């Protein structure tokens, strides 16, 4: 009898463990499903494969830059910052540029200057979502990307909108982490946004939120991307079509972050083609 009782107890303990594991699994799936697009993007910071796809940038210092760092107030009582490249004939058009996961480093500032030089009367603001932090290695980048809250990021973006002033029109673009935020900023800007460029960032998968987007989209994605996969990009494209949002989606036979010159798998041909498409798109939509 004693042996039988012990056997029953062991059986029920085993059942309890299985149910506990099942519950944990379902909770994780639910949590993942409830994550925003930018939270999903940031969650990749804990993935070794994703970190390995972002090698430490070679040292680079921008000298004699044509832009300057500026600060602006944010609604949470703090300040935000951005690298501003303002043309002599600046009007009311602004392009928000969002950095990838290493932060607003000199590579991003240089990119902002090159874009500004091609767009004429558009002021480029390379917005700092890390509040002054710039990663020097993958461990720091992984930590910083996960520290960004949606609330703080939106306060920074809205502060930049206020800085631009009443009547301003906008375009957005960004890479990776910044690509996800380019799309979110465009959604928040509503009909003030005239163009949105997203380079291999996590798209908005909630179609109710995506339906609020008023800007046409240029999407640059990579066929060999194991995180922002071709399936995710194709679903994004179909969602845009279903919502009658103008889109141009391009898939390159390259890896994630292929347009980053510090990436050992940097693809100069794909980068050149994508950049040409980007500038044509921005000039047409922000004219």
Q: What is the pLDDT of residues 276-285, one digit of tens each?
A: 999 999 999 9
Is pLDDT above 80 for 16? Answer: no
* Coil, helix or strand at residue 201: coil
Judge if 85 and 142 occupy the same domain: yes
Mean pLDDT of the chain: 89
Judge if 19 and 82 occupy the same domain: no
Judge if 88 and 24 occupy the same domain: no
Mean pLDDT over 214-220 rounds to 98
Judge if 161 and 70 occupy the same domain: yes
Mean pLDDT over 157-162 rounds to 98
This prediction's pTM? 0.87
- Of residues 5 and 262, more confidently modeled: 262
Helix ranges restricted to H, the chain: 2-34, 37-43, 48-52, 106-119, 138-147, 150-164, 177-189, 207-210, 230-242, 268-285
Count CB-CB contacts under 10 A for residue 47.
13
Is pLDDT above 90 for 121? Answer: yes
Is pLDDT above 90 for 275? Answer: yes
Judge if 18 and 40 occupy the same domain: no
Report how many domains make up the chain. 2
Judge if 44 and 171 occupy the same domain: yes
Which pLDDT value is given to residue 31?
55
Judge if 100 and 154 occupy the same domain: yes
Share of the chain above pLDDT 90, in %: 74
Is pLDDT above 60 for 242? Answer: yes
Element holding 97 (H helix, E strand): strand 93-98
| Domain that residue 178 falls in | 36-285
Judge if 69 and 44 occupy the same domain: yes
Judge if 40 and 30 occupy the same domain: no
Which pLDDT value is given to residue 50?
86
CATH number at residue 145: 3.40.50.1820
Mean pLDDT over 171-192 rounds to 97
């Amino acid at each position: 009898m004693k042996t039988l009782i012990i056997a029953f107890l062991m059986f029920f303990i085993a059942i309890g463990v299985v149910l506990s594991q099942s519950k944990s699994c379902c909770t994780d799936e639910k949590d993942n499903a409830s994550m925003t697009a930018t939270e999903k993007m940031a969650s990749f910071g804990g993935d070794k494969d994703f970190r390995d796809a972002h090698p430490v940038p070679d040292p680079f210092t921008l000298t004699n830059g044509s832009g300057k760092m500026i600060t602006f107030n944010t609604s949470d009582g703090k300040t935000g910052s951005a690298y501003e490249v303002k043309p002599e004939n600046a009007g009311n058009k602004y392009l928000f540029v969002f950095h990838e996961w290493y932060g607003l480093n000199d590579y991003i500032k240089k990119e902002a200057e090159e874009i500004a030089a091609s767009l004429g009367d558009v002021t480029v603001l390379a917005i700092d979502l890390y509040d002054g932090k710039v990663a020097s290695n993958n461990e720091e980048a992984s930590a910083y990307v996960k520290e960004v809250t949606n609330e703080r990021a939106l306060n920074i973006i809205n502060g930049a909108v206020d800085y631009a002033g009443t009547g301003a029109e906008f375009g957005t673009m960004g890479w990776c982490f910044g690509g996800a935020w380019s799309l979110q900023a465009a959604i928040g800007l509503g009909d003030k946004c005239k163009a949105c460029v997203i380079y291999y960032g996590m798209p908005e998968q909630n179609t109710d939120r995506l339906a609020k987007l008023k800007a046409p989209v240029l999407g640059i994605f990579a066929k060999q991307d194991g995180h922002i996969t071709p399936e995710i990009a194709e679903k994004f494209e179909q969602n845009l079509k279903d919502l009658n949002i103008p889109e141009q989606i391009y898939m390159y036979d390259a890896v994630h972050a292929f347009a980053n010159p510090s990436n050992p798998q940097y693809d100069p041909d794909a980068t050149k083609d994508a950049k040409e498409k980007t500038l044509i798109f921005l000039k047409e939509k922000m004219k």
